[in-house]
Structure 1
């Protein structure tokens, strides 16, 4: 199995980074020996800004040479793992900028003329690991589950990725947030992940 971990947080002393380390540790200790690549969007200095003009057109984004290595990573991966905080009820703008550019027409999906496109990333699976200051029930009851709907339906299922697992952790800045227990849960998941 090939696993691409996409990490989005500017601070390597954050709890988000601690979750990233548990993902890496779990994959490294997995007896099935999956292959892993880690893409740290801030460390990579990924440019999340979309630019369209006379020479750079949206319809050509799927063959933009500046994004070639990121397309290769996505094609290589069997499983995508996204690690990020929840800010304002959604993933960070940096991750959304990555999604805007990488999940492009004629690479991640193809228009068919019907209601839904053909997902070109089918056969892959995804794991979304997110953490937030507010309580765990906040996104469900206050925001109508907007984060999960965005990631699962508006993005991943649209491009053909049907199998999506969520670890959505709340109260992460509270002394009673059970951070170690949640970190260990993520570690154990990846340590025991089978094909």
Structure 2
């Protein structure tokens, strides 16, 4: 199994980075995982800004040469892992900008003229690891699970990815956040996970 880890946090001293390290550590000890690629969107200086004009059209995003490397990463991966914080009830703008550009028509999905498109990323699986300052149940009760609905239904199912797992951790900035226990859970998960 080949894995792509997309890390989206500007600080390498953050708890999110510690989660990234546990993903890598566990995966490197997993006999089912043959390859691990890490894409650090901030370190990469990925440009999340969409620009459409007479020279750059939305319908051509799937062949934009500047995004070719990132398309290859997504196509190559069997499992895609996202590590990011929840800010204002949703992923960071940097990650949303990556999603806007990478999950484009004629690359991630193809319109068939009906209600739903044909997902072109079928057979892949996704894991989302996210942290937030607020309590773990805040997104469920106050935001109607908007984050998970956005990621699972509006994005991944739309492009054909049905297997999606979430690790959504709340109260991460407090002293009683059980950070070590949660870091170990991520390590153990990736040490043994299959496709």
TM superposition score normalised by structure 1: 0.99
Gaps of at least 5 residues in structure 1 are none
Give the total of aligned pairs. Answer: 195
Q: Secondary structure at the match of 1:36?
A: strand
CA-CA distance at 1:193 after TM superposition? 1.1
Distance, in Å, in 2 between the alignment partners of 1:36 and 1:136 is 29
CA-CA distance at 1:32 after TM superposition? 2.6
CA-CA distance at 1:17 after TM superposition? 0.4
TM superposition score normalised by structure 2: 0.99
Q: Secondary structure at the match of 1:159?
A: coil
CA-CA distance at 1:161 after TM superposition? 0.2
Q: Which residue does 1:25 correspond to in 2? A: 25
Distance, in Å, in 1 between the alignment partners of 2:87 and 2:163 is 24
Q: How does 1:34-113 map to 2 (within 5 A)?
A: 34-113=34-113
Distance, in Å, in 1 between the alignment partners of 2:110 and 2:31 is 37
How big is the alpha-carbon RMSD for the aligned residues of Structure 1 and Structure 2? Answer: 0.6
Q: Secondary structure at the match of 1:16?
A: helix
1:6 aligned to 2:11? no
Distance, in Å, in 1 between the alignment partners of 2:74 and 2:68 is 10
Which deviations, in whole Å up to 9, do the C-alpha atoms of 1:60-102 show, x marking residues without a partner? 0000000000000000000100000000000000000000000
1:133 aligned to 2:126? no
Q: How does 1:148-187 map to 2 (within 5 A)?
A: 148-187=148-187
Distance, in Å, in 1 between the alignment partners of 2:33 and 2:154 is 32
Gaps of at least 5 residues in structure 2 are none
CA-CA distance at 1:34 after TM superposition? 2.5
Distance, in Å, in 2 between the alignment partners of 1:32 and 1:125 is 14
Please identify runs of 4+ aligned residues in structure 1 that moved more than 2 A: 31-34
